A and B are shown apart, each in its own frame.
Chain A
């Protein structure tokens, strides 16, 4: 029921501007449900976004929100978190925003293990600016800047996050909405850098160019091609071929950045009071 989560939306701003069939709305609903499930204080939750289709989400969410410059959402979020570590900070970003122009901020936030919840909406394309290929467009996929197919290899952003030092990494998709809510919820519980890649469907710019069919067809594609990690662990190798693994991919504990920072502050405070 939308009525149960209505308090988290700026309903006077709805309907949103996303194209018919765009999965961004589905993912936003999962984020909000995860926040509700975790019982986070609405006044102590900040949502930061950069530039792009997905980053429009902050305009519709009834929290303290920051809509920042292209690729810099994680940098702004780091500032918010360090200034007030009590806050729950979320970053909503897209594949272009986070992995291209914001790639550097992304790997360093992961390395620092600062307590942010980053949710990346991966629609494989720059939708807002007209369908240019992104660092996460699959090889061979078409875009307005790759009319004969993309010759580059895409990032495996979850592996990149693990390599950079993120302590919680998960992948979900916009068809399996309960799983997506659950992995975002588990990411909130992790004290440290939590990263969730949410596969999104862009039926207009990606779907049309790549003959993916309707919005519903793209969701069905996700249903058929995604496999949860728990199920994959029990399956023989040939059944896993060509599947995208979803679920919690990595979960470890490491010292969190703002806690370490606070320790330095209290050490100096003690030294000063003893002097």
Chain B
């Protein structure tokens, strides 16, 4: 039996996130949301299409999307 626990598709580095809101405003499937400080949270990870719009437009290098199309 494989012990492959499904990795969340999006890794967030909260220490670098400044809560600018670019990622969750641009996310086409609303995978991302904001916490009470305006920082990014993963709300619906299963809806992620790995389009990488959040990763490409995060000015703080705080989001990485694993898998998907190579940029």
Sample (21) of A-B pairs whose CB atoms are under 8 Å apart: A1-B55, A2-B13, A3-B64, A9-B61, A14-B16, A14-B61, A15-B15, A15-B60, A18-B59, A21-B59, A22-B59, A24-B59, A25-B61, A26-B56, A26-B57, A177-B57, A203-B20, A215-B22, A216-B21, A219-B22, A219-B57
B59 & A15 in contact (Cβ 8 Å cutoff): no
User: A residues within 8 Å of B by Cβ?
Assistant: 1-3, 9, 14-16, 18-26, 29, 33, 174-175, 177-178, 203, 214-217, 219-220
Residues in A with CB closer than 8 Å to B65 are 1
Complex formed: what's the CA distance from A2 to B16 in Å?
A: 12
Provide the residues of chain A in CB contact with B19, threshold 8 Å. 20
Chain B residues numbered 1-41 whose CB sits less than 8 Å from any CB in chain A: 13, 15-16, 18-22, 25-26
Which residues of the other chain, A, contact B18 by a CB distance below 8 angstroms? 15, 19-21
Give the docked Cα–Cα distance between A178 and B53 (Å): 11
C-alpha spacing A269/B20, complex, angstroms: 59
Q: Which residue of B lies closest to A214 (CB)?
A: B21
The complex places the Cα of A16 from the Cα of B20 at a distance, in Å, of: 14
Residues of B within 8 A of A215 (CB): 20-22, 59
User: Which residue on chain B has the smallest CB distance to residue A217?
Assistant: B25
Residues of chain B within 8 A (CB-CB) of A20 are: 18-20
- Tally B residues with Cβ within 8 Å of A: 22
Interfacial residues, chain B to chain A (CB-CB below 8 A): 13, 15-16, 18-22, 25-26, 55-62, 64-66, 71
Q: Given A22-B59, A25-B58 in contact, is the A219-B26 Cβ separation under 8 Å?
A: yes
CB-CB under 8 A for A29 and B61, given A1-B66, A14-B16, A177-B56: yes
CB nearest to A223 among chain B residues: B26
Question: Bound state CA distance, A30 and B58, in angstroms?
Answer: 12
Which of chain B's residues have a CB closer than 8 A to the CB of A16? 60
User: What's the nearest-Cβ distance from chain A to residue B41, in Å?
Assistant: 16
Contact of B71 among A23, A174, A178, A214 (CB under 8 A): A178
Q: Enumerate the 4 nearest inter-chain pairs by beta-carbon distance, A residue then B residue, closest first.
A: A25-B59, A21-B20, A216-B25, A20-B18
Q: When A15-B15, A23-B59, A25-B59 are in contact, do A216 and B26 touch as well, CB less than 8 Å?
A: yes
Residue of A nearest to B67 (CB): A1
Query: In the complex the two chains form, what is the Cα distance from A3 to B66 in whole Å?
Result: 10
List 9 extra interface pairs beyond A25-B58, A216-B20, A220-B26, CB under 8 A.
A1-B55, A2-B64, A9-B61, A21-B20, A175-B57, A203-B20, A214-B20, A215-B21, A219-B57
